[in-house]
């Protein structure tokens, strides 16, 4: 048995982008026992992966807001002790930030990461025992797969497999998930476009399902639901439950957000909506049916999304 530690702490899209590398490693090196170090908010999602033997959580986001409390420092101390007491054959930091490199340095084992020219924060490369060159203009999924393969001595295959397994469906209602929530207002699609698209899908016999994560997203979900007959606003729930909803959908339409990448991971027919960002480096990747619309030059119109959805539903 070979114990390895994968460090990919956040964010949601980055965590999903790491999953094909987990599948690659397990197939190339069946003797591996994989532990994943991740932010506590994303741990429920990582625990869904059948090839991850153990999850270690870190809480840097919460700790930063509570540094004045003794309880936070005691928790940090316990986290450091946990990493120091465990031994790994290899530690692979695919996050490539100074904070993740420090975590790699705390762990015991041969530490691997990007070299100074391949990494977002070049100083982080100084914390690794072995560094690897991986072009920065490659898609995030490819970079994760290449770094993991170089660290463990294999070449990733062409096929992209995230390794996630759909949960059994509990009802026969076909539905489409509209992922309108995103981290920046510049990535948001117009409510009018969501409504037009949702009404078309509803007329095709699909119930519209609207997840949300923040108060602003809840309010928008409720607004869209009022204008799309028969739609359903989900309760706020953990990532693993939301993942199961996405995995069993007939179609997902989503803006540039981490949840959209879950649809690609589950091979659900997907329409990706890009309003102001470039999908070239972080767009959805997978073997399922998908269409990516818009980009830095602006968003697609609702009619374009509807035409793409229609093609996917009949394919």
pLDDT one digit per residue (tens) for the chain, 315 residues: 899 999 999 999 999 999 999 999 999 999 999 999 999 999 999 999 999 999 999 999 899 999 899 999 999 999 999 999 989 999 999 999 999 999 999 999 999 999 999 999 999 999 999 999 999 999 999 999 999 999 999 999 999 999 999 988 777 789 999 999 998 999 999 999 999 999 999 999 999 999 999 999 999 999 999 999 999 999 999 999 999 999 999 999 999 999 999 999 999 999 999 999 999 888 999 999 999 999 999 999 999 999 999 999 998
Assess whether 26 and 135 both reside in one domain: yes
Residue 129 is predicted with a pLDDT of 98
Asked if residue 275 and residue 225 are part of one domain, the reply reads yes
Q: 141 and 201: one domain?
A: no
Same domain, 35 and 105: yes
Instruction: Give yes or no: residues 139 and 209 share one domain.
Output: no
d(CA 98, CA 101): 5
Contacts of 70 (CB under 8 A, 6+ apart): none
Amino acid 154: pLDDT: 98
- CATH number, position 94: 3.40.50.2000
> What residue numbers bound the domain in which 256 lies?
175-314
Q: How much is the pLDDT for 73?
A: 96
- For 40, which DSSP code? G
Predicted confidence (pLDDT) per residue in 25-84, tens digit: 999 999 999 999 999 999 999 999 999 999 999 999 899 999 899 999 999 999 999 999
- For residue 158, being part of any structural domain is answered with no
- The answer as to whether 159 is a domain residue is no
Residues 136 and 224 in one domain: no
Tokens of 91: 């530690």
Q: Count up the domains in the chain and report the number.
A: 2
Same domain, 147 and 12: yes
pLDDT for 168 equals: 86
Residue 38 phi/psi, 5-degree rounding, is: -150, 155
161 domain residue, yes or no: no
**N residues, the chain:** 315
| Residue 310 is assigned to a structural domain of this protein | yes
pLDDT of residue 183: 86
- Residue 19: in which H helix or E strand, if any? helix 12-28
Which two tokens mark 31?
């003797």
How much is the pLDDT for 199?
98
Q: Same domain, yes or no, for 111 and 209?
A: no
163 in a domain, yes or no?
no
- Residues 131 and 125 sit within 8 Å (Cβ to Cβ): yes
Name the strand (E) or helix (H) holding 273.
Answer: strand 270-274
Q: Residue 298: which region, alpha, beta or left (left: phi > 0; alpha: psi -120 to 50)? A: left
Considering the domain architecture, whether residues 22 and 117 belong to the same structural domain is answered as yes
Q: Is residue 131 domain-shared with residue 184, that is, in the same domain? A: no
pLDDT at 282: 85
112 to 107, 136, 174, 281: CA distances (angstroms) = 11, 17, 45, 23
Q: Is 170 inside a domain boundary? A: no
Helix (H, G, I), strand (E, B) or coil at 32: strand
Both 22 and 145 in a single domain? yes
98 phi/psi in degrees, rounded to 5: -60, -40
Residue 281: its pLDDT value, please? 84
Read off the pLDDT of residues 144-159 as tens digits, 9 standing for 90 and up: 999 999 999 999 999 9
Max alpha carbon distance in the chain (Å)? 58
Q: Say if 164 falls within a structural domain.
A: no
């Amino acid at each position: 048995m070979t114990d390895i530690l994968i460090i990919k702490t956040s964010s949601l899209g980055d965590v999903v982008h790491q999953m094909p590398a987990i599948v690659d490693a397990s197939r190339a090196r069946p003797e591996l026992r994989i532990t994943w170090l991740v932010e506590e908010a994303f741990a429920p999602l990582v625990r869904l992966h059948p090839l991850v033997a153990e999850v270690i959580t870190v809480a840097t986001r919460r700790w930063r807001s509570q540094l004045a409390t003794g309880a936070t420092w005691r928790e940090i101390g316990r986290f450091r002790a946990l990493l120091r007491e465990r031994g790994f054959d290899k530690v692979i930091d695919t996050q490539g930030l100074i904070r993740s490199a420090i975590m790699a340095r705390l762990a015991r084992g041969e530490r691997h990461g990007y070299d100074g020219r391949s990494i977002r924060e070049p100083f982080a490369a100084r914390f690794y025992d072995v560094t690897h060159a991986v072009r920065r203009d490659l898609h995030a999924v490819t970079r994760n797969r290449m770094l993991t393969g170089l660290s463990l001595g294999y070449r990733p295959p062409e096929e992209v497999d995230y390794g996630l397994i759909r949960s059994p469906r509990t009802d026969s209602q076909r539905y489409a998930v509209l992922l309108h929530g995103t981290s920046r207002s510049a990535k948001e699609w117009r409510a009018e476009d969501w409504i037009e698209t949702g009404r078309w899908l509803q007329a095709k016999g699909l119930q519209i399902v609207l997840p949300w994560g923040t108060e602003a997203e809840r309010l928008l979900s409720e607004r869209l639901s009022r204008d799309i007959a028969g739609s359903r606003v989900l309760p706020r729930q953990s990532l693993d439950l939301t993942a199961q909803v996405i995995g069993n959908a007939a179609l997902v339409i989503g803006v540039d957000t981490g949840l959209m990448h879950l649809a690609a991971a589950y091979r659900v027919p997907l329409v990706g909506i890009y309003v102001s960002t470039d999908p070239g480096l972080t767009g959805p990747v997978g073997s399922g049916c998908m269409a990516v619309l818009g980009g830095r030059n602006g968003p697609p119109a609702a009619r374009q999304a509807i035409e793409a959805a229609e093609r996917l539903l009949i394919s």
